[in-house]
Every structure is written in structure tokens, then in C-alpha cells.
Amino acid sequence: MSWIGLSPGNILQQLYLKERINFYKNKYHYKKFLEIGSGNGHISYVLLNNGYKGVGIDLNNSACLNNQKLNQKHILLGNYQVINNDFLSYPFKEKFDIIIACMVIEHIPDNELKEFLNKIKSLLSENGTAIFFVPSNMRYWNIEDEIAGHIKRYEFKDIKNICEEHKFSLAKIAALNYPISNVLFHLSNYLIKKHESNIKNLSQKEKTIYTGNRNVPFKTTFPKILNLILNPIVLYPFHILQKLFLNQLNHSLVLYFEIKNK
């Protein structure tokens, strides 16, 4: 189960994503996905277990090994491939109905982002969709952004600029994890300061690779006993709550958006 050991915010993101990918599967018969920055494989797991086939690519070798373990069944069936490589340099030979990048583009400087988005554009199938999760609103800039090697937190205007500059249409945008992540914001910062302050000394690239497989007690990893409350069933009311506030773009800590080729 992909939610085991995840934070409340990540579980809520998965619940929302599941609804969106099922919408595309039912309406457009999407079948194939590419996850950029697939990390430990939790997002890929959601797509694979909802009928998709795909590829996950990540720079972090240990995260790729965790991904292979989590999604071993689908790998053995030939439905999934894990690639330990750089997305920009890897020569993909196929197109994808969904390309998803969860907490990725905030690591990419502007001079590389254009190449990144152009490659996504070239790899999307006809009527395909690119899905992004990004940390949002610069006023919430905090120690986690510094640890993770973020360039910035995204505002709605940044997403509009991406669409205008690269000729994408904005199909969907939503505020996620509100208000639960806002309530837990200061606790999260405390845990990061306690366990990850030394990461600030790494280079930008090292920080980016590191984020593929973090280990912060009660932030990114949790005791098994907490699975009794940190699961989709118990947190489902918070999913309903986050859906009531999907328009809170200026207040949420996470933005979700979908773009398509014009």
C-alpha cells in the first residue's frame, strides 16, 4: 500500500491525484505515464494500481531501489520500469499520456526549466496531460525549502507564465493540503531543524538528490503504530475538507496543476 509511512499531506495529495487520474482514464482512455523524480515510487504506485503502465526516472539510486521494491509486482509483469538517470539526458523513445512531476520543478533554475518543459512537451501524446505538484507561495519560504534545494515556491502567476511562454493550456489548478499543512507548518519546521540542519551545507544538486529519499522521524517517516491513523480511511474527511478549499491558491502550501499542449 503506497500510503504506509507517508505524512498526512502526502496521503491527501494521493487521494486527490487518484481522482484526477481516474477521470482521465475514463474520459480519454489514458494508459501510459512517465513520472519524473519518482523517488521511492509512491506516486507511480497509485497510477500502476489504477490500471496504468509506466516509467519512473530519478537521480537518487537508493530511492530507485526502494521504488523497485515497492512496485516489484508491476515490474515483473512488464508494466513498469525504473530508470536511475537524469530526465533531461535520457533518450526516451515513446510518448506518454500522463507525465507527472511531484515536487520537482521548484529545484530547477530558470535557465534549465525551459529545456525541461520543452522535453515534456515533446514527450506528451496527443491530448496528453502533464501534472505537477509544487510548493507554493513565497511568503511560506522556510527551512525545508533550503534543505531541499528549492529555487523558489510557485505562485499562480508563475504557472500562468509557464503556460504563456511554452504554449501550454492550463487544464486544472488546485490548492492542496489546506488547511492541515498550514496547521502543522511550525511543527514541520521544528522537526527539520532538529534532524536535517546539516543538509544545508550540501550543494544544490546534492540537496536535490537527497530529497528523493529523506528520513525525518514524524515528518517523512512514521512508526508503524501510526498507520492506524495515518491512512486514507481516517484522513478521508480531511480530503473532503481540502476539496472545499481548492480555490485557496494564495494560502495553501502546495499547488497542483495540469497543463496540455495547445
Q: What is the DSSP string of 72-123?
A: HHHHHTTSEEEEES-TTTS---S-EEEEEEES-GGGS-HHHHHHHHHHHHHH
Question: Is the pLDDT score of 1 beyond 70?
Answer: no
pLDDT tens digits, 114-125: 999 999 999 999
Return the CA Rg of the chain.
17
**Structural domains in the chain plus CATH codes:** 8-261 (3.40.50.150)
Name the pLDDT band for 181 (thresholds 50, 70, 90).
very high
Range in 41-55, 72-86, 190-204 the model is least confident about:
190-204
Query: What is the average per-residue pLDDT within 100-115?
Result: 94
Q: What is the mean pLDDT of the chain?
A: 92
Query: What is the average per-residue pLDDT within 214-224?
Result: 76
Q: Where are the alpha helices (DSSP H) in the chain?
A: 8-28, 42-48, 61-70, 72-76, 110-123, 143-148, 156-166, 180-183, 185-196, 204-210, 232-244
- Nearest alpha-carbon partner for 144 in 82, 205, 191: 191
The pTM assigned to this predicted structure is 0.92
For position 71, what pLDDT does the model report?
A: 97
Distance in angstroms (rounded) separating the CA atoms of residues 95 and 93: 7
For position 2, what pLDDT does the model report?
A: 60
Question: Is the pLDDT score of 33 beyond 80?
Answer: yes
- Nearest alpha-carbon partner for 100 in 211, 253, 259, 220: 259
For position 48, what pLDDT does the model report?
A: 97
Query: What is the average per-residue pLDDT within 103-111?
Result: 93
Query: What is the average per-residue pLDDT within 224-238?
Result: 86
**Considering all CA atoms of the chain, what is the largest pairwise distance in Å, rounded to the nearest integer?**
48
For position 147, what pLDDT does the model report?
A: 87
Question: Is the pLDDT score of 216 beyond 80?
Answer: no
Name the pLDDT band for 3 (thresholds 50, 70, 90).
low
